[in-house]
């Protein structure tokens, strides 16, 4: 699974008794004494040793020729098939691979060092592009053959990978030349770290052709699934539930409702054991696209002025719950006293993401939860 969706304790538990778990590479602190600093030099050295061990034992097979891969994810009724390969760091730097999130320096520092120490990128960046029929036709042809890998992960998601070499590879490269722009859906820190690692190796005189590329999977936009990213707040800033509900009702439409909003512009709110539906006031017609998103309107009209959450990136009173965990998790936290109020959001669209990235904008924090997720360890890029 992706290294950044589990903490060290969870990674340690997941990898216990399984020396083949790729978490020994991506979260190698689990092989050191508990409490070790995750940025300790020993962590990166152990990661390198663990990757070398997997390669030496032939559990990881090195391609005998340049290849692309078709990577299919199936989660329940949802299916998406992308193209996995190496993408240009230069195009990332020139914004032909567009971003919509800010990155944190400490997370960049960690993955940059991980890439440089291992001379490998061990995690996949999740890209999207506007669907193109020529690419889809080739992918359909490749995926008619026998896959290289096919398994169902413990979370129920099916992962299937087909290798595209020779004429299929060349046809995909040619078809992809028609795609002007790619968009990072998930993995901003991985992409930024790959670019920083390449610059580091250039400065050392150790750069290679491969260090100028990063490994990713690009999915057509019409197959993407974005789930909402919900908000929970620990307290009501000194207000009683009744006073808080009254304050919210002065800035938004307020009525009885269920746990999931049925359209953009609406938010479900759970407080004092009851669900309400909020109809948010519209953003000004000339507002940037990012300011029209429900998460941003909620922030500007309710979280900041009523609850005092001025910066959701840093305020410890707010937490975020990915849509995969369901609205039952919101009820559980409030009913257990772990939070005072929860907001169930309607998901952002892929069109929103693309439009904001095209305008050079930044989406509000914790706006999108992409599901299903790619798994680390299936495809590794050595640089």
- 221 and 72, same domain (yes or no): yes
Axis crossing angle, helix 133-142 with helix 166-176, rounded to the nearest 10: 160
* Domain membership flag for residue 358: no
Number of domains into which the chain is organized: 3
List Cα–Cα distances, 235 to 83, 194, 240, 277, 302, in angstroms. 45, 40, 10, 20, 13
The answer to which of 13-27, 114-128, 130-144 has the lowest mean pLDDT is 13-27
Are residue 180 and residue 105 in the same domain, yes or no? yes
DSSP string, 90-159: HHHHTTSEE--S---HHHHHHHHHHHHHHTEE-S-EEEEE---HHHHHHHHHHTTS--SEEEE-TTS-EE
Handedness of CA 346, 351, 352, 353 (dihedral sign): positive
Return the minimum-mean-pLDDT range out of 53-67, 140-154, 355-369: 53-67
CB 195 within 8 Å of CB 291 = no
Q: Could you give the CA distance from residue 330 to residue 240 in angstroms, rounded to a whole number?
A: 19
Same domain, 211 and 242: no
14, 30, 56 - which closes a domain: 56
Query: Is residue 235 located within the same domain as residue 166?
Result: no
Sign for the CA dihedral angle at 240, 243, 248, 254 comes to positive
Are 140 and 174 contained in the same domain?
yes
Q: Is residue 359 part of a domain?
A: no
Indicate whether 50 and 74 sit together in one domain: no
Specify whether 101 is located in the same domain as 75.
yes
Per residue in 264-278, pLDDT tens? 999 999 999 999 999
Q: Is the pLDDT of residue 66 over 80?
A: yes
According to the model, what pLDDT value does residue 3 have? 64
> 181: pLDDT confidence band, cut at 50, 70 and 90?
very high
User: pLDDT exceeding 70 applies to what percent of the chain?
Assistant: 99
Least confident of 12-16, 71-75, 132-136, 144-148: 12-16
Residue 1 pLDDT exceeds 70: no
At 265-324, the pLDDT tens digits run: 999 999 999 999 999 999 888 999 999 999 999 999 999 999 999 999 899 999 999 988
198-220 pLDDT, tens per residue? 999 999 999 999 999 999 999 99
Q: Is residue 364 part of a domain?
A: no
Whether residues 206 and 266 fall in one domain: no
Domain extent at residue 17:
3-56
pLDDT averaged over the chain?
Answer: 94
| Residues 128, 182 contacting (CB under 8 angstroms) | yes
Range 163-175 average pLDDT: 95
Residues 75 and 196 in one domain: yes
In terms of domains, do 154 and 245 share one? no
| Residue 52 shares a structural domain with residue 161 | no
Residue 352, helix vs strand vs coil = helix
Q: How far apart are CA 358 and CA 232, in angstroms?
A: 30
- Predicted local distance difference test score (pLDDT) of residue 5: 72
Cβ contacts of residue 314 below 8 Å, gap of 6+?
none
Are 44 and 101 in the same domain? no
Query: Does the residue 23 lie in any domain?
Result: yes
Query: Where is average pLDDT lowest: 5-9, 109-113, 361-365?
Result: 5-9
Is pLDDT of 4 > 80?
Answer: no
pLDDT value at 126 more than 90: yes
Report whether pLDDT(2) > 70: no
pLDDT at residue 67 is higher than 70: yes
Which residue matches tokens 């509900």? 245
């Amino acid at each position: 699974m992706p290294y950044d969706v589990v903490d060290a304790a969870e990674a340690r538990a997941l990898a216990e008794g399984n020396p083949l778990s790729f978490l020994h590479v991506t979260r190698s602190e689990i092989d050191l004494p508990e409490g070790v600093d995750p940025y300790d030099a020993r962590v990166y050295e152990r990661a390198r040793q663990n990757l070398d061990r997997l390669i030496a034992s032939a559990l990881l097979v090195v391609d005998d020729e340049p290849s692309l891969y078709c990577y299919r994810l199936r989660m329940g009724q949802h299916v998406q098939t992308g193209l996995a390969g190496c993408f240009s760091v230069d195009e990332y730097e020139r914004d032909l691979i567009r971003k919509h999130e800010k990155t944190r320096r400490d997370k960049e520092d960690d993955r940059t060092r991980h890439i440089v120490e291992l001379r490998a990128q061990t995690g996949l960046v999740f890209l999207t592009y506007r669907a193109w029929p020529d690419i889809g036709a080739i992918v359909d042809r490749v995926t008619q053959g026998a896959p290289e890998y096919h398994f169902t992960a413990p979370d129920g998601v099916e992962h299937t990978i087909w290798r595209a070499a020779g004429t299929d590879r060349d046809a995909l490269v040619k078809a992809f030349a028609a795609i002007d722009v790619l968009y990072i859906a998930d993995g901003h820190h991985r992409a930024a770290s790959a670019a920083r690692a390449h610059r580091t190796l250039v400065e050392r005189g150790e750069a290679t052709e491969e260090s100028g590329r990063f490994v990713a999977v690009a999915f057509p936009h019409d197959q993407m699934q974005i789930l909402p990213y919900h908000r929970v707040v620990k307290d009501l800033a000194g207000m009683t539930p009744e006073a808080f509900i009254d304050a919210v009702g002065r800035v938004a439409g307020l009525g009885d409702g269920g746990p999931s909003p049925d359209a953009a512009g609406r938010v479900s709110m759970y407080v004092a054991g009851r669900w309400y539906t909020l109809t948010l006031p519209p953003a000004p017609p000339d507002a940037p696209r990012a300011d029209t998103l429900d998460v941003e309107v909620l922030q500007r009209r309710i979280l900041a002025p009523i609850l005092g959450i001025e910066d959701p990136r840093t305020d410890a009173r707010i937490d975020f719950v990915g849509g995969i965990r369901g609205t039952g998790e919101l009820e559980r936290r409030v009913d257990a006293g772990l939070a005072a109020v929860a907001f169930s959001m309607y998901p952002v669209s892929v069109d929103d993401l693309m439009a904001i990235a095209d305008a050079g904008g930044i989406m509000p924090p914790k706006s999108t939860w992409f599901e299903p997720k790619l798994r680390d360890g299936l495809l590794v890029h050595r640089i």
